[in-house]
Amino acid sequence: MGDFSLYSLCLFIVCLLVAMTVHEFMHAYVGLKLGDTTAKDQGRISLNPLSHIDPFMTVVLPAITYALWQVLFLAAKPVPFHPGRLKYDEYGAAMLAAAGPLSNLALAFLSAVALKSFSLQGLALDLVSTFLVLNVGLFVFNLIPIPPLDGSRVLYAFAPEPLQEFMEKVEPYGFMIIIALVLLGGFGGWLSNLNQAVLSAIL
């Protein structure tokens, strides 16, 4: 790995830790506001990245996928919640789920404002640009309606009962489906096009 690649990787990790932490914090915070103290009781209403890192999902898994396929695939520790304690039932769960991706969209917007408002150069420009692209990517990816991604909980709240039942059956295998699609290129160009469309709209 050359110097530029190492530099880019370091930027990516720093930006990811911030974006991931805010994403998970917002899940936990909205859950509390909707009446569920589960995340609070487990110390997840925190802006400390260590509170949201899962040893396997956030550290070991990306190391394996990068070593084998040059793809950094990772996930934060899921924020726990108790559906029965949330206000508004399924819609409360949808609000909790949407809070994470929407926080990434907000961070992407703030990054775009910084790029437009200040004459950034060097490290600052690279950091803000990376942060912008990463947050757009997290926003788009997490809204894919495949369990257990956040988009699936949003869809579930508004889906007819047959689709809800199908999603419940798929959920135990959802993570493996997502990994397979990522590694096999199943998301392909349309995901990249979505990212570009959101970036263009923000900028």
pLDDT value for 151: 96
- The single-letter code of the amino acid at 5 is S
Say if CB 24 and CB 36 are below 8 A apart: no
Domain chopping of the chain, boundaries:
3-202
| DSSP 8-state symbol, 86 | S
pLDDT value for 63: 85
The residue to which tokens 């997502």 are assigned? 178
- For residue range 7-65, list pLDDT tens digits in order: 888 999 999 999 999 999 999 999 999 999 999 999 999 999 999 999 988 989 888 88
Active site residue 24: yes
Global pTM reads 0.92
In the predicted structure, residue 4 carries a pLDDT above the cut 80: no
pLDDT value for 49: 95
| The two structure tokens encoding residue 137 | 């990517």
In the predicted structure, residue 103 carries a pLDDT above the cut 70: yes
Catalytic residue among 24, 161, 165, 171: 24
d(CA 126, CA 12): 10
pLDDT value for 1: 42
- For residue range 145-193, list pLDDT tens digits in order: 998 899 999 999 999 999 999 999 999 998 888 888 877 765 667 788 8
Q: Estimate the share of the chain in helix, then strand, then coil, as percent rounded to the nearest 5.
A: 75, 0, 25
